[in-house]
Amino acid sequence: EMMSYSDGCIYSAKKDCLVNIGGFLATNDKDIFEATRNMVVVYEGLHTYGGMAGRDMEAVARGLREGTQYEYLKYRIHQVRYLGDMLKKVNVPIVKPIGGHAVFLDAVKFLPHLEREQWPAQTLAAAIYEDSAVRSMERGAISKGRDKETGKNLFPALELVRLTIPRRVYTNSHMEYIAESIIRLYEKRNTIPGLKMIYEPEYLRFFQARFEKLSL
């Protein structure tokens, strides 16, 4: 039913299929199908496997079944909610409602003393890593990039840190460890300095840019 409302999709199997690699492209347009099939042969391999090993395709097929099981989904969603509820209980600013795969911290509200040019989300992600070795992801101005015409930095309405929880890896004790670190940082949030970007690549700066701390 869901797919009946679109003409195609791109699917990353590395997420809800519970596998380390793979994905697929699907379309109901014959012309697009023929064009993409030809491109796959040139760049990836025959369209029947698209560069994927047989083992990986079997794992995707299995993951599609396991990823829709009620007990698995219940465990998955409840674990993410458990982390979010711990943060929400002490008023750490998060995006609500809590999602099914990640908890998002509102970095602007978390670090209100920082200007947007001091990269609050990147600052918070770095602070979390320094405090607990938990690797999160900036989803804000660094990810947004620059205006193609003016070259100026773009500052989206949302400046977030994404805490994506790997599937079938961690226990609730790990969620408590993450929450304790973030709460600890929130309690001393006014002492966290912003960042200055000292290296910016031409493309995908959120993967490769480098930063240094500013003075408070």
pLDDT in tens, 43-61: 998 988 988 999 999 999 9
- Counted residue by residue, the chain has a size of 216
Mean pLDDT over 4-19 rounds to 90
CA angle 179, 85, 104 (to 5 degrees): 70
* pLDDT score of 180 more than 90: yes
Q: What is the mean pLDDT of the chain?
A: 95
Q: Which two tokens stand for residue 54?
A: 């047989």
In CATH, the number for domain 72-213 is 3.90.1150.10
**137 and 164 Cβ atoms separated by less than 8 Å:** yes
Looking at the chain, the whole-number percentage of residues with pLDDT higher than 70 is: 100
Mean pLDDT over 174-196 rounds to 98
Q: With CA atoms as reference, report the closest residue to 185 among 117, 129, 113.
A: 129
CA angle 106, 185, 204 (to 5 degrees): 50
Quote the strand ranges of the chain, DSSP E: 8-12, 23-27, 102-106, 137-139, 160-164, 195-199, 210-213
State the Cα–Cα distance between residues 89 and 197, nearest whole angstrom.
34
Fill in the amino acid letter for 19. V
pLDDT category at 34 given cuts 50, 70, 90 is: very high
**179 and 97 Cβ atoms separated by less than 8 Å:** no
CATH 3.90.1150.10-classified regions of the chain: 72-213
Q: Provide the 3-class DSSP secondary structure of residue 149.
A: coil
State the Cα–Cα distance between residues 19 and 59, nearest whole angstrom.
6
216/82: higher pLDDT: 82
* Per-residue pLDDT at 159: 98
Place of tokens 């961690």: 170
pLDDT category at 3 given cuts 50, 70, 90 is: confident
Q: Provide the 3-class DSSP secondary structure of residue 76.
A: helix
**96 and 88 Cβ atoms separated by less than 8 Å:** yes
Mean pLDDT over 129-137 rounds to 98
